[in-house]
Amino acid sequence: MLSLIASTISILAAAVTEGEGLKAIGAGLGYGLAAIGPGIGIGIVVGAAIDAMTRQPESAGTARTTMFLGIAFTEALALIGFVVFILLLP
């Protein structure tokens, strides 16, 4: 366990001194954080759509259309995060 922590610290230290590695860590963290928000958003959108389809099966078509558009709009945030990730990568 201690050796694992020591190796992680040495990797991080090397990344800090080199700069390039720090950029890569930042890019990876940024993309990961940018994907969390849309993930939560998509969960909320789909949950609400399933709720709507359960309550009113006759309006399932409308719920599905709105759900698809909601998912696509939420995904735009992840795509922005992806572009920033590509920009930051050394």
Residues at the contact surface with another protein, assessed by CB under 8 A: 35, 38-39, 42-43, 46-47, 49-50, 53-54, 57-58, 60-62, 64-65, 67-69, 71-73, 75-76, 78-80, 82-83, 85-87, 89
Comparison of 12 and 86: residue with beta carbon closer to another protein: 86
**CA atoms of 38 and 15, how far apart (whole Å):** 29
Q: List C-alpha distances in Å: 83 to 25, 26, 57, 78, 87.
A: 15, 13, 39, 9, 6
Question: In Å, how far are 36, 40, 47, 49, 79 from 44, measured between CA atoms?
Answer: 13, 6, 5, 9, 19
Task: Give the nearer residue to another protein in terms of CB position, either 15 or 42.
Answer: 42
| CB of residue 6 to another protein, shortest distance in Å | 30
Pick 16 or 50: Cβ nearer another protein: 50
